[in-house]
Amino acid sequence: MEPTPTPFETRCEILAELWMNYRDVDYFADFFEYNDLGLPLAYALANGIALRSDLSNKFINETWDLLLAGLETEDYGYGNLNQVLEVEE
């Protein structure tokens, strides 16, 4: 299957859900600590609290790339967090 980038808005939604629902999971502790700006920014963008900019794009895309690297996968055009996390199972 050829990798297809996940749309930016979906990346924000996935990262926001990860931040809200998995922040106490030990597996993600280092990831959350390092991405202490990118994750809440994704939440703010996904919920219309902040406006998208070149700088926010940079933070979100870096956070997204680090998540995929940590899960040892590529971007296959994910639609939700469950699809991303299924890579681990």
pLDDT of the residue at 4: 78
Cα distance between residue 44 and residue 87, in whole Å: 26
Exposure b/e, 28-55, CB count within 10 A at least 16 = b: beebbeebeebbbbbbebbeeeeeeeee
In the prediction, which pLDDT does 1 show?
53
Q: Is the pTM of this model over 0.85?
A: yes
Q: Which of 38, 33, 36 is nearest to 55 (CA)?
A: 38
Domain locations in the chain? Answer: 8-88
Contact 16, 48 (CB under 8 A): no
Alpha-carbon span 86 to 52, nearest angstrom: 29
> How far is Cα 69 from Cα 65, in angstroms, rounded to an integer?
6
Structure tokens at 66: 């680090």
pLDDT tens, the chain, 89 aa long = 566 799 999 999 999 999 999 999 999 999 999 999 999 999 999 999 999 999 999 999 999 999 999 999 999 999 999 999 986 54
